[in-house]
A and B are shown apart, each in its own frame.
Chain A
Amino acid sequence: MHVVLIIKKVHRRKFITDSCFACTAMAGGGMLLTLLESCNGLPRISASKTKSDFSFPLSAFADKQMLIIQRNDTEFDALVIKKADNTFITLELKCSHQDQPLTATAGGLHCTSHGSKFSLEGEVLNAPATEPLRIFPTECINNNVIVKFGAK
Chain B
Amino acid sequence: MLISYASFSQIITREDSLNAGLVASNSRSVISGYGEALVSYDLRSKTGVADLRRNVLFFGHKFDDKVSFFSEMEIEHAVVEEGGHGELAMEQLFLKFNLNKKNYLAAGLIIPRIGIVNENHLPTTYNGNDRPFVERFIIPSTWRELGVSLYGTSNRVAGLNYSCGIMNGLNSADFASGAGIRGGRGEGSKASATNIAAIGALLYYTGNWRLQTSAYFGGSAGLPNAEADTLGLQNGTFGTPVQMFELNVQRLSNIYTFKALGAFINIPDAAKINAAYGNGIAQSVLGGYVEFAYNLMHLVKRQDQKQVLVFARYEWLDLDYKTPTGVIRDNTLNRQYIVTGLTYQPTRGVTVKADYVHRITGKPAVTEVDTPATVFYSQNGIVNIGVGYSF
**Segment 156-200 of B: residues with Cβ below 8 Å from A:** 156-162, 164-166, 168, 188, 190-194, 196, 198, 200
State which of A30, A41, A99, A115 has its C-beta within 8 Å of the C-beta of B157: A41
Return the chain A residue nearest B149 by Cβ.
A26
Residues of chain B within 8 A (CB-CB) of A15 are 194, 236-237
Which segment of A55-63, A80-88, A104-112, A137-145 sits at the interface?
A: A104-112
Once the chains are docked, how many angstroms separate the CA of A77 from the CA of B95?
Answer: 22
Tell me which of A3, A6, A22, A40 contacts B198 (CB under 8 A): A22
What's the least CB distance linking A46 to chain B, in Å? 10
Residue contact B164 to A36, C-beta cutoff 8 Å: no
Q: Which residues of A contact B316 (CB under 8 A)?
A: none
Cα separation A130 to B22 with both chains bound (whole Å): 17
Say yes or no: A128 contacts B154, CB within 8 Å. no
A8–B157 touching, CB < 8 Å? no
Interface size for A (C-beta < 8 A) is: 60
Cβ–Cβ < 8 Å partners of A49 in chain B: none
A65 at the binding interface (Cβ < 8 Å) = no
- A39 at the binding interface (Cβ < 8 Å): yes
In the complex, whether A5 has a CB less than 8 A from a CB of chain B is yes
Closest 4 CB pairs of A and B: A18-B237, A37-B156, A41-B158, A107-B207
Residues of A within 8 A of B (CB): 1, 3-11, 14-15, 18-19, 22-23, 25-26, 29-30, 33, 36-42, 44, 70, 74-77, 96-99, 101, 103-108, 110, 112-115, 117, 124-131, 134
7 contacts between A and B (CB under 8 A): A6-B190, A7-B193, A11-B225, A22-B198, A30-B164, A99-B68, A115-B125
Interface residues of B (CB under 8 A from A): 14-15, 17-19, 21-23, 30, 32, 34, 58, 60, 62, 65, 68, 70, 93, 95, 98, 101-102, 108, 116, 119-120, 122, 124-125, 146, 150-162, 164-166, 168, 188, 190-194, 196, 198, 200, 203, 205-210, 222-226, 235-238, 252-254, 257, 305, 345, 348-349, 390-391
